[in-house]
Amino acid sequence: EADIYQTPRYLVIGTGKKITLECSQTMGHDKMYWYQQDPGMELHLIHYSYGVNSTEKGDLSSESTVSRIRTEHFPLTLESARPSHTSQYLCASSELGGTTYNEQFFGPGTRLTVL
Amino acid sequence: GENVEQHPSTLSVQEGDSAVIKCTYSDSASNYFPWYKQELGKRPQLIIDIRSNVGEKKDQRIAVTLNKTAKHFSLHITETQPEDSAVYFCAATDFYNQGGKLIFGQGTELSVKP
């Protein structure tokens, strides 16, 4: 079944550690996004990609980086985790579209806690 | 850039009553307005959307209205049920020039009491 997968679902890690949050989609979508969301609060776009080798920063400044080497894979990396990075990270994808308005489909999220 | 304001932040209604959530946006170029529902511990899911060339759209108990002049749009839920309890987010984008980047409102926590 076509879906968006995120791993790990929960991560508790110490300050200074390097972490990579994985996101994969089998939707066949070109566009992928990363959002940061505190529980029940506003979604903030931190990174997006329109296809392979395309990455852009979102509206919320983030110390994380992303890569898009394969269409279905969009990992997010934090080189040195800090307590201020504690949040939920949601991955999403949508069709490339054109003049159509395309629904964004979300993954289940990774809840990150940095001690 | 676009800014989306959403009100109220919390809303409590009795089962069977109607619920209305309102959003305003700042960029007159915005042309696509989706609404997402996020149940506790789950991922956001699209429940309805509207384009700028339409004033109203309805899907069973859910409707969305858009006033381009005033730059606001609203979500209407009729005959609310306990399973409608969730956080609802509005969003806006200029799809042609922003490529689908959504700017979300702050969210409304809807509680439907049986």
Segment B73-91, tens digit of pLDDT:
999 999 999 999 999 999 9
Share of chain B above pLDDT 70, in %: 99
Return the higher-pLDDT residue of B54 and A12.
A12
Judge whether B66 and B76 are in contact, CB under 8 Å.
no
Across chain A, mean pLDDT equals 92
What is the Cα–Cα distance from A21 to A105, expressed in whole angstroms? 18
Length of chain A counted residue by residue: 115
- Per-residue confidence (pLDDT) for residue A97, from 0 to 100: 65
Judge whether B74 and B24 are in contact, CB under 8 Å.
no
- Per-residue confidence (pLDDT) for residue A104, from 0 to 100: 92
- Per-residue confidence (pLDDT) for residue A81, from 0 to 100: 95
Cβ pair B46:A104 closer than 8 A: yes
- Per-residue confidence (pLDDT) for residue A33, from 0 to 100: 95
Backbone angles phi, psi at B65, to 5 degrees: -120, 150
Give the burial string for A55-83 (b: 16+ CB within 10 Å, else e): beebeeebebebbbeeebebbbebeebee
- Per-residue confidence (pLDDT) for residue B67, from 0 to 100: 96
The tokens for A45 are 């776009």
How would you classify the pairing of strands A10-13 and A110-114? parallel
Could you tell me which residues of chain A have a Cβ less than 8 Å from any Cβ in chain B?
31, 33, 40-45, 48, 50, 58-59, 90, 94, 97, 99, 101-104, 106-109
Q: Tell me: the pLDDT tens digits for B42-69?
A: 999 999 999 988 899 999 999 999 999 9
The DSSP symbol for B96 reads H
Average confidence (pLDDT) over A18-43: 94
Cβ pair A45:B101 closer than 8 A: yes
Average confidence (pLDDT) over A108-112: 97
What is the Cα–Cα distance from B76 to B61, expressed in whole angstroms? 8
Average confidence (pLDDT) over A97-113: 84
What distance, in Å, lies between the first and last C-alpha atoms of chain B? 41
Backbone angles phi, psi at B13, to 5 degrees: -135, 160
Instruction: Tell me which amino acid residue A5 is.
Output: Y
Give A102's pLDDT tier (boundaries 50, 70, 90).
confident
How would you classify the pairing of strands A110-114 and A87-94? antiparallel
The DSSP symbol for A73 reads B
